[in-house]
Structures are given as structure tokens and as C-alpha cells.
Amino acid sequence: MKFHYPNGKKYLEPERPSKKPGAKPKQVTYGNRGMTLEEDINETNLYYLAQGKAVIHKKPTPVQIVDVLYPSRSAAVIKEAYFKQPSTTDYNGVFRGRYIDFEAKETKNSTSFPLKNFHEHQITHMEEVYKHDGITFVLLRFSATEEVFLLPFPSLHAYWKRMLDGGRKSITKEEIESDGTRIRLGLHPRVDYLKIVQELYF
């Protein structure tokens, strides 16, 4: 299925590792479950909801369908669609009476986090949330080491501004460790980011 951004540019799905014939299935362990950060957060949010702790959901992206194949009356296949508008951030909701809005990003880099992973409209959106006293931050995952950090928006904004002023185009891992907080991965919930939010904002 073809997707297009509002500017007409095609959406390219992330590459997935190919399975070689005869390869043994990768053993799933507690430390490496092969899940993406998004899957871990979605699972965590379901736990929060079930426990009555918070209501936080992934934002749906509005899509305009332009080409549909009808092979039969009971089956329809979407062949082409456009994202109606640029996305803002990945997640939003309510925790202890406060509005929460955050973005989740991953990188294969082990020593820094590229700022190209963010878009200007996302930074602008988080800035508006911050101005209105909402809680806004980013969750950053280093996939090579399975490390997840919560970085508050003011720190992200400072590094974004540094890039715009001609500085480096990434945040070093040392800077993330200094300005952010590492989230220890668990079982239930998998990524307990609200524990850090509780400590930082309440």
C-alpha cells in the first residue's frame, strides 16, 4: 500500500530484518524481547489504564484514502493513501490531572542521538504544550544496548537550538545521561516512564 505525506512525498516503511532460510529463531529473553519502543510503550499504557493510573494513548494519524481495490463485496484493499497533515507527537493523555504529551524515538547509534529524527513541527508542538504548563518530553531508546531515557523538553529544545545555530546535529549519549533519566526496563509495566514523570513534575 502506498502512503504519501501532505507534501506529496512517499512514505517509506522502515526496513525489517529479513529471515534467512534455515536460520534458527532468535531466542526471546527478558532483556531482549525484540519489541520496538512503540510496542513497549503501548503495552505499558494498557497496564496504566488497567491499573487506573493514567489514560494515555497513541495518537491516530488522519489518513485520506485515494485508491481502493474491491476484489469482492466482502473485501476491500487500500492501495494508496495520504497523510492528511503532519503528525505532532506520538502520545498524549492525562496523569494526575496534568496533560501529558510526548514523542518516542529510537536509534541504532550507540554514542549519540541524531536530531534529524525529529521534525520542526514536532518541536513547535511540544513548545506550545510546554508554554501551557503541560508535561512534555521525549523517550529515547538506544536499540543496540536496550537503554531508554526520558529527556525533558527544555533540554531537547536547547540541543535543537544549538543545531539551528550551527552546532552539532546530534545529542551525545553523555548529554542524554546528564540531562535525562534512564528508565529501567521491567515486566509490568515494561517501560515505567510515569515513575520518572512523578519524580520530575510532582
Average pLDDT, the chain: 84
Indicate the range of 38-47, 87-96, 147-156, 167-176 predicted with least confidence: 87-96
Query: Concatenated DSSP letters for 131-191?
Result: HTT-EEEEEEEETTTTEEEEEEHHHHHHHHHHHHTT--SEEEHHHHHHHSEEEPB-SSSSB
One-letter amino acid at 165 equals: D
**Residue that wins the pLDDT comparison between 180 and 62:** 180
How many other β-carbons are positioned within 10 Å of the β-carbon of residue 33?
A: 12
Query: Model pTM greater than 0.85?
Result: no
- Tell whether the model's pLDDT for residue 142 goes beyond 60: yes
Do residues 169 and 141 make contact, with C-beta atoms less than 8 angstroms apart? no
pLDDT band at 31 (very low <50, low <70, confident <90, very high): very low
How many other β-carbons are positioned within 10 Å of the β-carbon of residue 5?
A: 14
